[in-house]
Amino acid sequence: FENLSSVHGREFENMHKLEEKISDLEMTLSKGSQEVEEFRTDIEAKYKMMFKIVADRLAHLEKLRDIFNKKLDDRKKNIKKLDSVYDKMTVLVPKMSQLEKIRGQVIGFSARLPFNMILKTHGSVLRHFKEMISNCGDHFNSETGEFTAPLDGLYATSLCVNFVVKQCLHLIIVKAPCALCKNVSYCKQCIVGDIMSKENAENGSVFVVVNLTSGDKLYTLYSSVNQMMHERSILFTCFRIG
């Protein structure tokens, strides 16, 4: 029994030592896993911080890229604007030099319709002025009967008629273009002056001073209902005062 009990005692002691070792091991393990957890948390925090730094840098870079793109767009727009300015200038410069040339020039004309011409249609423009008395600056087109103002300014215009056949007739000096009118014969904007003759009249005339803008046209209209054969003179005149 003595032997058996001493064996038991040793076994018990061994068991106890083993339990202590297991307990030590468990403690070491728990400590190790705690360290691992701390290490993981630390790594995670560092990763988050790095991520935030990278994200911040990226946002900053994106902002810079947007600014750069905007500047590039502005530059392109400016170049486009410059191009259009250049295009306008290439059109304007010759016009300006032409205006410089015209500015000092005398502008004016007088022209007469041929005798024995039949004016037929109501509202027809007087054309084909065969006799050019003067045409300074060449701004009156004798074929179309139109004077085109080359410069803004004050102009004097007149229409003189001598009749042989005594009859009622209506002649108008017209200024065009007009955005409002449907019929220039009745448009206050278009009519610069007119001659309304009675049957017993032998001549008639109108003299008007009118403001014209560059490009405005002056021409004369026959506005009577009956056809007329004029055997004397229809004289159309315009000149720039200043």
* Nearer of residues 181 and 206 to Zn ion, judged by Cβ: 181
* Nearer of residues 142 and 194 to Zn ion, judged by Cβ: 194
What number of chain residues touch Zn ion (CB under 5 A)? 5
* Nearer of residues 114 and 177 to Zn ion, judged by Cβ: 177
> Is the Cα torsion angle 206, 207, 213, 214 positive or negative in sign?
positive
* Nearer of residues 159 and 192 to Zn ion, judged by Cβ: 192
Those residues whose C-beta lies under 8 Å from the C-beta of residue 138, and which sit 6 or more positions away, are none
Give me the least distance between CB of 175 and Zn ion, in Å please: 8
Question: How many whole angstroms from its chain centre is CA 156?
Answer: 35
Chain residue whose CB lies nearest Zn ion: 181
Binding residue (CB under 5 A) for Zn ion from 111, 161, 174, 190: 190
Q: 210: burial class by Cβ within 10 Å (0-12, 13-18, 19+)?
A: middle
> 178 in helix, strand or coil?
coil
Is-contact 219 176, C-beta < 8 A? yes
Give me the least distance between CB of 217 and Zn ion, in Å please: 12
Q: Which of residues 150-189 bind Zn ion (CB under 5 A)?
A: 178, 181, 187, 189
Q: Which residues bind Zn ion (CB under 5 A)?
A: 178, 181, 187, 189-190
